[in-house]
C-alpha cells in the first residue's frame, strides 16, 4: 500500500510538471528585434516544436520585403532584392529562388492568422538570425544591398490575392474582375504644399508606355490628366489631382474617358496607405461592370516622387502590364 502511494505521488508529479513546464515556456513573451529595433507583432509570435512562428505580413514588412498571397493555394511569396521565398501553408517544402528547401516546421493558420517560421524566412532573405534562450530574444540583422525600388511599395490586389510590384517593369495576370491598386508613401505630411505622386493608366503601350524615363520632370508629362494622382488636400495641386468629392481618379484613355474612383484609405503608422479600387469603368457616362468592358491588356505607369524634386528618378516609377485571364 505504501509503495502504491509513492508511485501515485511520483505519477502526479510527472503529470503536473510535464504539462506546466512547456506551457510556461510557451507563454513566455518572445521579443523580436530587427537591426536593434524591437518589433511589436500582432498577433504575437508563438513557439512550437522548437520553432518560432510569426504573423506573415507584419514579419515580411519588418524585413523590408514585399509579399504576394495566393488564397486558392494558400501560398505566400516574399520578395526582397534578389531573393524570392515561397511557402505554402502546411507544406514542409519551401522554395528559395526556385530551389526546394525542407522545413522543420511549415507555415500554418492559427485562429484565422497565417504564421510562418521566423528563422527560415529571415535566413532565406540573407539575414542573420540569433536566438537567446535565456531572454527569449530573437535578434535579426538585415544584410542587403540598397533597394532601388523600395520606395514604390506598389501592390495589385484582387480578392484575397496580392501581387507585389518590385521592379521598374512587371507583368501581372489577373481575372477580369474587380481589383485594386495600392501603394505606401513613407513620412507623408498631409499639410505639405508639394506635389507628391502621380499615376497614369493607358489601354495602349504604343504611345505612352515608354515615355517615362529617369530624370524626366513630372511637370513635362502631358498625359498626367486631372485626377490621375494624389496630392495633399488644400495644396496648390488639389484642384488638379483631387476631385470635389474628395475621391481620386485614374484615367485609362484620353480618347475614351474611362475612369474609376477610390477613397483615401488611412494613415497607418508612418505610411499613408492609398488604394484605387477598380470596381467599374465608365464609357461616355455609361456604367459598365468591369467584366463587361471590352478591354484587353491594361498598361499602367505609376510614379511616386518620393524626394519631392519633380524629377522621375530610377526608383520612383514602374511600368506594369496587367493581363486579364
**At 46, which CATH number?**
3.30.457.10
Given this model, what pLDDT does residue 260 score?
Answer: 36
The span from the first CA to the last CA of the chain, in angstroms, equals: 77
| C-alpha span between 272 and 190 (Å, rounded) | 9
Q: Is the domain of 180 the same as that of 129?
A: no
- Structural domain contains residue 255: yes
Range of the domain at 136: 31-141
Spell out the residues 6+ positions from residue 36 whose beta carbon is closer than 8 angstroms to its own.
139
- Structural domain contains residue 82: yes
Given this model, what pLDDT does residue 230 score?
Answer: 41
Q: Is the domain of 192 the same as that of 297?
A: yes
Q: Is the domain of 301 the same as that of 198?
A: yes
Q: Is the domain of 71 the same as that of 132?
A: yes
Given this model, what pLDDT does residue 116 score?
Answer: 93
CA-closest candidate to residue 32, choices 131, 167, 109, 149: 131
Given this model, what pLDDT does residue 2 score?
Answer: 54
- Structural domain contains residue 156: no
Q: Is the domain of 292 the same as that of 212?
A: yes
- Structural domain contains residue 187: yes
Given this model, what pLDDT does residue 290 score?
Answer: 54
Given this model, what pLDDT does residue 233 score?
Answer: 43
Given this model, what pLDDT does residue 4 score?
Answer: 57
Given this model, what pLDDT does residue 320 score?
Answer: 77
For the chain, what is the domain count?
2
User: What are residue 135's DSSP bridge partners?
Assistant: none
Given this model, what pLDDT does residue 194 score?
Answer: 42
| C-alpha span between 319 and 301 (Å, rounded) | 5
CA-based torsion, 185, 191, 197, 201: positive or negative? positive
Q: Is the domain of 177 the same as that of 287?
A: yes
Using CB atoms within 10 Å of the CB of residue 91, give its burial: 0 to 12 exposed, 13 to 18 middle, 19+ buried. Answer: middle
- Encode the chain (325 residues) as per-residue pLDDT tens digits: 555 555 555 455 554 444 433 333 345 688 999 988 899 898 899 988 889 999 998 898 888 888 888 888 999 998 887 788 999 999 999 999 888 999 989 999 998 889 999 999 999 888 889 998 888 899 998 865 433 334 455 677 777 788 877 667 778 888 877 676 665 544 444 444 344 445 554 444 444 445 555 566 655 654 443 334 444 444 444 443 333 333 333 333 334 333 333 333 334 333 444 454 554 443 333 444 556 555 566 666 666 666 666 667 776 777 777 787 7
Kindly report the number of other CB atoms within 10 A of residue 139's CB atom.
15
The full DSSP string for 234-298 is TSTTHHHHS-TTS-EEEE--TTTT-EEEE-EEEEETTEEEEEEEE-EEEETTEEEEGGGS----E
Amino acid at each position: 500500500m505504501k509503495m502504491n502511494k509513492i508511485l501515485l505521488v511520483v505519477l502526479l508529479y510527472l503529470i503536473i510538471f510535464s504539462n506546466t513546464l512547456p506551457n510556461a515556456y510557451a507563454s513566455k513573451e518572445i521579443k523580436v528585434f530587427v537591426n536593434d529595433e524591437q518589433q511589436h507583432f500582432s498577433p504575437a509570435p508563438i513557439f512550437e516544436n522548437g520553432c518560432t512562428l510569426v504573423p506573415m505580413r507584419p514579419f515580411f514588412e519588418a524585413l523590408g520585403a514585399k509579399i504576394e498571397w495566393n488564397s486558392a493555394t494558400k501560398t505566400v511569396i516574399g520578395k526582397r532584392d534578389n531573393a524570392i521565398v515561397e511557402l505554402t501553408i502546411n507544406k514542409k517544402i519551401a522554395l528559395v529562388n526556385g530551389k526546394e528547401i525542407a522545413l522543420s516546421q511549415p507555415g500554418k493558420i492559427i485562429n484565422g492568422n497565417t504564421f510562418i517560421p521566423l528563422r527560415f524566412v529571415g535566413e532565406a532573405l540573407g539575414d542573420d538570425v540569433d536566438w537567446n534562450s535565456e531572454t527569449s530574444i530573437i535578434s535579426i540583422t538585415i544584410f542587403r544591398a540598397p533597394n532601388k525600388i523600395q520606395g514604390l511599395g506598389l501592390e495589385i490586389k484582387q480578392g484575397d490575392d496580392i501581387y507585389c510590384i518590385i521592379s521598374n517593369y512587371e507583368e501581372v495576370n489577373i481575372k477580369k474582375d474587380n481589383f485594386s491598386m495600392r501603394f505606401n508613401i513613407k513620412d507623408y505630411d498631409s499639410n505639405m504644399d508639394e506635389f507628391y505622386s502621380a499615376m497614369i493608366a493607358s489601354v495602349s503601350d504604343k504611345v505612352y508606355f515608354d515615355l517615362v524615363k529617369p530624370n524626366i520632370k513630372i511637370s513635362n508629362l502631358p498625359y498626367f490628366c486631372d485626377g490621375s494622382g494624389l496630392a495633399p488636400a488644400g495644396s496648390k495641386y488639389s484642384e488638379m489631382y483631387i476631385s470635389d468629392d474628395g475621391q481620386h481618379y485614374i484615367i485609362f484613355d484620353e480618347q475614351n474617358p474611362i475612369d474609376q474612383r477610390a477613397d483615401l484609405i488611412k494613415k497607418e503608422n508612418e505610411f499613408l496607405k492609398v488604394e484605387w479600387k477598380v470596381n467599374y469603368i465608365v464609357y461616355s457616362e455609361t456604367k459598365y461592370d468591369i467584366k463587361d468592358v471590352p478591354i484587353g491588356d491594361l498598361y499602367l505607369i505609376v510614379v511616386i516622387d518620393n524626394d519631392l524634386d519633380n524629377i522621375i528618378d530610377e526608383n520612383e516609377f514602374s511600368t506594369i502590364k496587367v493581363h486579364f485571364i
